[in-house]
Amino acid sequence: MASIEVSLPSMGIGAAIAAAAILALACGERHAILDGNVKRILARHDDIAGWPGRAAVGRRLWRAAEKRLPRERIADYTQAMMDLGALVCTRNNPDCGACPVAGDCRALAAGRVAR
């Protein structure tokens, strides 16, 4: 199994996210990804408030991403999360009616999807 943890101190966060996505998609390795689309899904689903660039918010989002990682079909899960954020849980005008996880979306239940 390839490891990105060793390289993280010398990599920018963008490079670390790209490395995790490559390892998950191309190699099927179990690495969380946290691109802009996935951050938005997790922030809405768990109703995590605040700017994702803040360290405390970023840590909560990483924990949420890691908690959800499946044991199998990592590449499928990773691609599905990116697609869900790009096509359904969009930044503007999300289509909550088409969202497969809308039933337990905390931001939707609280009426805070637009923030």
Instruction: Name all domains of the chain by residue range, CATH numbers in brackets.
Output: 33-110 (1.10.1670.10)
Report the distance separating Cα 75 and Cα 33, nearest Å.
11
Report the distance separating Cα 107 and Cα 14, nearest Å.
26
pLDDT at residue number 31: 80
Q: Is the separation of the CB atoms in 65 and 71 below 8 Å? A: no
Give the count of alpha carbons within 13 A of 73, CB side only.
5
Report the distance separating Cα 64 and Cα 33, nearest Å.
11
pLDDT at residue number 7: 46
pLDDT at residue number 6: 45
pLDDT at residue number 8: 46
pLDDT at residue number 53: 86
Low-confidence ranges of the chain (pLDDT < 50): 1-2, 4-9
Give the count of alpha carbons within 13 A of 43, CB side only.
25
CA distance readout (Å), 2 to 12, 14, 19, 23? 18, 18, 10, 8
pLDDT at residue number 62: 92
